[in-house]
Amino acid sequence: MLLALKAFSTTGCFSVIRPYAYGCCASGLYEARLAAAHMGGHVAVYSPAYREAELAELLEFAHHIDFNSMPQWLRFREFCLSHPRVQSGELLLGLRVNPCYSTGHTPLYDPCVPGSRLGIPLAELEGVDLTGISGLHFHTLCEQGAQELIDTFRAFEKSFGALLASPRIKYLNMGGGHWITKPDYDRAALISLLREVRECYGVEVFLEPGEAWCVHTGVLRARVLDVFDSLGYRHAILDVSASAHMPDVLEMPYRPDVFAVRPLGEAPGTPAVMLPTESYAQAQTAGDLPFTYRLGAPTCLAGDVIGDFSFAAPLQVDDEVVFDDMTHYTIVKTTHFNGVPHPSVQLLQDNGSLRRLCALDYADFEHRLG
């Protein structure tokens, strides 16, 4: 089980994850370097395309490198096969394939959509010399259960089963998108599939979830900067931006759970990560509670709105609101759009105290822009 760094790369939390992770999956050289420096263990790399210089560095320390197309593999095959770590078997090389089997409903997150550039379809593999290839990789799921993985594996098996059974193939990477830590995920079914694949095909099986490591493990705290009425809506402008701090709210799109911080003693809410000195009141759909606000960002983008939410009490300037489930695909995706400041990243420790992991300031903003 690998941690997909694209979802969560906060190195200050790796000590919590390390006991359960065999290593990391990286999307390229930078994430691979982060994995080696901060997590240790296995480093599996897949990128839709490599630069030669990047690959040269990866050959020195990665354990799996998977290629996305036959031209990339053929271009770099001799370069890779002549490396001593490949010759000694310390580094194995694989291909990402496309089983062309969609289980998702959002094309943006579906690598099996018609015209996809991600993974090699069966037709492109036929008749090709696969000398030097030791692994196969598919990634097709997004926030899905064990049954979708089983169905996907059966589709993969139909197309690529003969190749998987050949003695040259030593590992199968089943990608990410497994919602393993959700209470209703059928973990017994997952275990039984993994055992079956290992026993039938004699391969080592890897999974590389990102989101599942982090579900409900972190909140984004925002402050109300202004409240006003305009064109039939009551707006609350916050000091956070969907575009800059939580882009999945716009891209996915995703509606987070929102809580208002209330003094201890008022009816407590249930965000997954809460400070022991506070209680929270959960906001509801617009109109369900007496005070509805359009929660918006302090940026120029007209659509930089987190959503319409209703609260039990009116929001006031300086009130705090808390967005739940803001760890995965959030911290890694932030930007300095409009020069918005960034909140610090803090770790809530077992004793209830906060440890600051990072704080970005004006110098970070200035430095990134060159």
Ligand X SMILES: Cc1ncc(COP(=O)(O)O)c(C=O)c1O
Instruction: Single out the residue of 32, 91, 142, 155 in contact with ligand X (rule: CB under 6 A).
Output: 142
Instruction: Give me the 161-180 binding string for ligand X, x by CB under 6 A, dash otherwise.
Output: --------------xxx---
Burial of 80 (0-12, 13-18, 19+ CB in 10 A): buried
Separation CA 163–CA 158 (nearest Å): 10
Separation CA 358–CA 370 (nearest Å): 21
- Min. distance of Cβ 139 from ligand X in angstroms? 4
- Interacting span for ligand X (CB under 6 A) from 79-87, 189-197, 204-212, 289-297: 204-212
- Min. distance of Cβ 229 from ligand X in angstroms? 40
Q: Please report whether residue 94 would count as binding ligand X according to CB under 6 A.
A: no
Instruction: Give me the 40-79 binding string for ligand X, x by CB under 6 A, dash otherwise.
Output: ------x---------------------------------
Residue pair 130/67 in contact (Cβ under 8 Å)? The answer is no
Residue 118, both tokens = 């991600």
Q: Please report whether residue 104 would count as binding ligand X according to CB under 6 A.
A: no
Residue pair 256/246 in contact (Cβ under 8 Å)? The answer is yes
Angle between helix 187-201 and 146-165 (nearest 10): 0
Long-range residue pairs from 51-55, CB within 8 A, at least 24 positions apart, any chain = 52/76, 52/79, 54/28, 54/29, 55/79, 55/80
Q: Please report whether residue 4 would count as binding ligand X according to CB under 6 A.
A: yes
Q: Please report whether residue 218 would count as binding ligand X according to CB under 6 A.
A: no
- Min. distance of Cβ 109 from ligand X in angstroms? 7
- Min. distance of Cβ 266 from ligand X in angstroms? 35
Which DSSP letter does residue 258 get?
E
Residue with smallest beta-carbon separation from ligand X:
176
Q: Please report whether residue 343 would count as binding ligand X according to CB under 6 A.
A: no
Residue whose CB is less far from ligand X, 25 or 281: 25
At CA 199, angle to CA 194 and CA 205, rounded to 5?
40
Residue whose CB is less far from ligand X, 176 or 218: 176
Residues of the shown chain interacting with ligand X in the complex, contacts defined by CB under 6 A: 4, 6-7, 25, 46, 139, 142, 175-177, 208-212
